[in-house]
Amino acid sequence: MTGRVAVIGSGSWGTAMSGLIAPRAGEVVLWCRDASVAAAINETHVNPRHLSDYELPGNVRATHDAAEALEGAEVVVLAVPSAYLRPVCSDIALLVPRRAPVLVLTKGVELGTHELMLDVAAEELGGRARCAVLSGPNHAEEVCLGTLSAAVLASESPEVAARLQALLVNTNFRVYVSQDVTGVEVCGAVKNVVAIACGAAVGMGAGDNTLAVIMTRGLAEIGRVASALGADPLTPMGLAGMGDLVATCTSRHSRNRTFGEALARGESLASFEERTRMVVEGARAAESVLALARAHDVEVPITEAVYGVLHGGARIQDAIDALLGRRPKEEFYGIATPDKENE
């Protein structure tokens, strides 16, 4: 049993995570950027903006005061959008207890620095060894209902991984551990971009065969980026890679897939995010992942196509034509395997 856990960020995943860990924590304090949301949660035990049909456990309370949320915290969970992770971590750096493990739920690549989210958190909070990331096919809408789910928890410290695994795991939420932090993070960032492509394809009338092509070629794209960064080539085949990719590309709960469909209907990113009150991480990742891939001379045609539509003014049909105009190569080109390394 952990004493107090601070969850920084009251979006869907932060809300669901608060409920998930509550049975193994004395108290969960959920930090909300909006004071009115915190007040509503404390009054009704329901987040009025996210998962509004889900009643939080009695030992979860909310606050708008970061110092109050972090005081005496034995574990800190970061659940804020990727664009806000660094400024939020900078703001709370002096408040985070030095001995507390830090679990990063945010997925993405920071634009400009090419840094993954654990690196960002570790730079601002100090102590990479105490940080971990969690990723997998876990839609908050299902996790909060207790449906069977699984995730991979990656940390360079086996002790930190074991401690956080004990906090998270239960009968319906299986948590596997890994030391491949880079591989897990690459999977979490790139799959969101692929999901936008899948949604746009569906919006343009594509069938199941087309979705299967986008997903598997997207998986190869994930593998090439992961390989270039020195990750374990098996990681994209697991929960953080293939598992999360399937869920994000096919589920009605996926904001990235849903946005892709809306994009095909002509809706803008700004309009979609304002209407849904959700951040489309894949839209940001299209730019930052492409920059990261180019820095390592890695081909990422699906990411490039999504970036072209979102940020380059390309039409979806033009992006499709460009992808179909590419000459097919060896299926797993650009991915390090034992056979290729021995050649």
Torsion of CA 212, 182, 119, 24, to 10 degrees: 80
Quick check: helix, strand or coil at residue 169?
Answer: coil
φ and ψ of 199, to 5 deg: -60, -45
Q: How many CB atoms lie within 10 A of CB 288?
A: 24
Taking alpha carbons only, the member of 195, 236, 253, 327 closest to residue 12 is 253
Q: How many CB atoms lie within 10 A of CB 177?
A: 16
φ and ψ of 340, to 5 deg: -70, -35
Q: How many CB atoms lie within 10 A of CB 163?
A: 18
Residues with a known catalytic role:
191
Q: How many CB atoms lie within 10 A of CB 272?
A: 19
